[in-house]
Structure 1
Amino acid sequence: MKGTVLIVEDQPNFREGLKFFISQSMANWTVIGEAETGEEGWNKAVELKPDLILMDIHMPVMNGIELAERIHRHNLDILFIIITGFQDFQYAQSAIRYGAMDFLLKPCSDEDISGILDSAFKRLRVKRKEQQATKEHLLRSILLKYQRNQELASHFIQLFQSSQLWLITITDYFPAAKNYRADDLYVLQYGIYNIILELALSEDADAKLLILKEDQFILSLSSSEHTTESWRENAAIAVREYLGIEIDSILLGTSSNIPQLMSVYTDYCEHLTLPTGIPQPEGKSNKHQAVEAVKNEVMSLIISGDHLALQDYFEKVGQQVGILHLTEGKLNVINHTLALDQISEVLGLFSHQSKPVEVLLQMIDQLHNNGELRNWFKDTCRDFTARLERWKQQANPYVNSIQQAIDYIEEHYLDNDLSIKQVAECIHLNPSYLSTLFKKETGETFTGYVTRLKLQKAQVLLRNTDMKISEICQTVGFDDSTYFSSVFKKHFQVSPSEFRQHH
């Protein structure tokens, strides 16, 4: 994975120096364009869609602050770093409100450039991972019919931006000619994933491969007249040659036509006669059937949207576990836990990496009576239900209201009169309701969130400037430097001066 950089700098020597340093020393970044003015930089940003822009603050036609403001106003999903001299820093820091992630101060050393680009790459890697998870969630919600509403559909169309979507199906993960085991699934999936993506990228630089189910992928290709379909045949040949596995692929359609995508996908799956799915090793068929039965039961309750019925189901199973023979109860809990893990994987519910089966068996083996087993299962179901609710809320239109509130706060956090009432009026919600919803969705109160945001901005200034702490206090919206220092230390366990010394 590499990130792309656009350099917007009117000084040719400095621009060329940056370009040379990145090409020679930064393996994670590739310079894809350069511009001498802010206006040219804007046009290149729209055309090239870089991951990161390095922009000087002083440029003809349009300066760096104006360019940052335009990027922010048009919601371009681009990281950017402001290049500035110390004498202009107080002016440059106004770009924080437009989303500037950091500042590169002239004159700067190779270490300065390297450090700031390493930080940007870490930010980019997290962002791409989040985008991948969001896209997979949307695909599963729509194509597998787990959830569907207008808000979800609009988000889907916006995120995929009229891409061509191809369905790739693995017709048999464990062919007779290979000694693969069920435990090899993720290795095989990884191999197939990389083969297909590498060949698709040779056709289209904007190719993305997403996991729909354990035996199905979705390949997203930017709609381009120059895109060919040779990757299909080449991918099938390569997967067959290297892994001995057969794959099938069809064009579902363009992401902007959701009804067509759903119709083509449904028709394909209904008429698919080749063996699909993942066979279980010999001797595990009964366990597999039990897990599948639980998975089907729970999924039907999720799809129906009957939250109380799902709770009743878990409660009923918990009661059974409490009266069964301990060994039988443990088998029941194991089957249910494996089923919930599989559902979590399909829906993308995991907030952390799932435990291997061996670890699960060890944990349950250490439970010595039915009471401990029932309580353990109850905690497992409670955790699953909480993650399921968070998943459902991603498609809730009120979640977008919280994002609107956060965006408004980002723009106006320096306003002295910023209040929950002001934000609520902007996004057309009742202030009391917004306050409750904000705490529920973010885990923070409105005041706590604003305070933390100001402190994060202060960290940037402490790390990159020689401004006095009293000046930074005023810059990020605190009136009293003593109070600022106290709040800063409470949040980060170090004082502002100690933070500066270590960064």
Structure 2
Amino acid sequence: MIGKLLIVDDQAIFRQGIAKMIGEHELGWQVAGEAENGREAVEQIAALQPHLILTDIRMPHMDGLELAEYVHRHHKETAVIILTGYEDFKYAQAALKFGAIDFLLKPCNEQTLIEVLGRAYEHFREGMLRAQRQAADRRALEEHVVRSLLLGLPCDDRLAQRAGAAYAGKELVLLRVESYFPPGKAYRRADLGLLQFALFNMITELAECPPYHGRLVSVRHDRFALFTELVEEEPARGLEQRIAEACRTYLGLAVTAHRCGPAGEPEGWSGLYRGAEEQRAVPAAEPPAPRLPAANVTRIREMQTELETRLVLGQMAQVKEQIEAMLGRLPSMPPEDARIETLSFVMALGRTVSRLFGGEEARFDVAVPIESLPALADTGAIVAFAQERAERFLAQFAAWQEDKNRNLVTKTMAYVEEHYMESCSLAEVAEKLHMSGTYFSKVFKRETGDTFTNYVTKVRMEKAKLLLSNTDMKIFEVAAAVGYDDPNYFTNVFRTTQKISPTEFRKRHR
């Protein structure tokens, strides 16, 4: 997971220096925006929704302490780090009561900045994981309540009302697995838990997408209740057909659907469920399998999030460590648990493939050989299977990465040529290329031998020299024409890079 950072300081050179340092290190942060003062930051917070704000204490219009108070009152989920000088430190400590998580004393060196942002990232990461676990707990309770309401079991009125509000306006669709033992498949009764796990995740993957925003609940081992948005423009039974086709193609299972109509009030759900059952009254063909724990669904998402974060940051060593750690846990598990863990891992790989470098057709590609999992009798065979899928995933990622990076430098240079007179920040270009700032920075430097910031500066200086040599534009006009709002800052950069002032350069080249 990558955190979004907003830098707030009235000195442009300091903001750019901080952004450059962050771009050159794998800190888990992406600079989402910059602001000159607290008032400007407030205007950006709603749109950017940063996870962290790094703000100076002394600024015009609204200082850092006032900004911290505003964030504490209106955006409690956003963390704040205060930049302060020694003379302001006691004043800055007042920000603690507004939730500031750390301080940076100016001037700060690169190592200190890395350490502080590293602590902030751990704070952010732990908070995100805690929120995921809490969401999983709420989801498990919600599923229990919905299941009870569908089956007509006793249920707490307060929880029932809460479920009714969550599912208000949705349509109820009852899904039924015709048989877990179709002809031509070697599935066994011991594999029911594994099959239900795969089925639940596959249907969830399809149903959660817009415009359906579906919620799936396991009612029995072969019955699932799907609550979806009412989609008037959709062709008849469009989602049900996609679910049936996916289950048949990837699992070899026949799944049928019965639309029960609008869910309505929760006290009426059991009647809708009974009505659907009575229309298709067929005795269950298999004994109940263990219900899918909500924790397993959450585990897939956690694996996927961790994989994607490390991949977009270019942390291939950590990706391989994550895979090796998962493989290392398998030998100590019973075969049944090892199969579930392996399937969770394989599905996380599949979702990552789809999100990062595949289309709809890649969504289940890694998970296609699920039917071979039950045939793996011992843990050693399961480990070998997981290893093979991991190697395929890494090979697929390497091919995608090579293709993606091939034209990155060319695209970047073309973009800079067209936009050097604008802000043209690392974060902006990385976003245009759908990359994290850290990863983009590393790739650009590896391919060109220079940092992105230095490259932009070189382009701007060359354009400035052309204007100084061939026009009568004033220095502040030249500065603005090549992307510098502050002519004094432009002059300093020009003098530093060209070893001569803009005025002297013009005298020598006119």
Q: With structure 1 as the length reference, what TM-score do the two structures score?
A: 0.42
Higher relative contact order (CA 8 A, sep 6+): 2
Q: With structure 2 as the length reference, what TM-score do the two structures score?
A: 0.42
Larger radius of gyration: 2
